[in-house]
Amino acid sequence: MHITLEADYAIRIVHCLAKSKTRLDAKTIAEQTTVTLRFALKILRKLVASGIVKSFKGTQGGYELAREPKDISLKDVIETVEGKYRLSRCLSDEYGCNRGMSGNCQFQKIFCQISADVAKKLEAYTFDMFE
């Protein structure tokens, strides 16, 4: 089990902006994170929409963090690109498993607790911790 490449890149992008402490253009972000410019722009749009990153247009444009690094967790970034973390698809409303609702599933409570534990751990790590 692992996070997606998009989530990995999103973490790199936020880390790059946290380290720079200044506005960066998309090309510089892509170069410093080794993410293609096209994919970096796609991820940046999601990060802007979620309020983690601010974008600025024009010759002095670019991207910067919308919040302090201490206020942005790994959970925030991962869930921005992947959605809410769930260990198993059976915890998703879209899956349509009715065994958990009927009490016949022995694993749903366990998977739910593990998912909550992972989310709590991801929330504990913020971008001010990484140098």
Give the DSSP H/E element, type plus range, for residue 12.
Answer: helix 5-20
Which of these CATH numbers, 3.40.220.10, 3.40.50.300, 1.10.10.10, 3.90.1150.10, describes 5-124? 1.10.10.10
pLDDT of amino acid 96: 60
pLDDT, averaged across the chain = 89
Give pLDDT tens digits for 33-70. Answer: 999 999 999 999 999 999 999 999 988 899 999 999 99
pLDDT at residue 101 greater than cutoff 60: no
pLDDT of amino acid 100: 53
Buried b (16+ CB within 10 A) or exposed e, 60-70: eebbebbeebe
Residue 98: band (very low, low, confident or very high) from pLDDT cuts 50, 70, 90: low
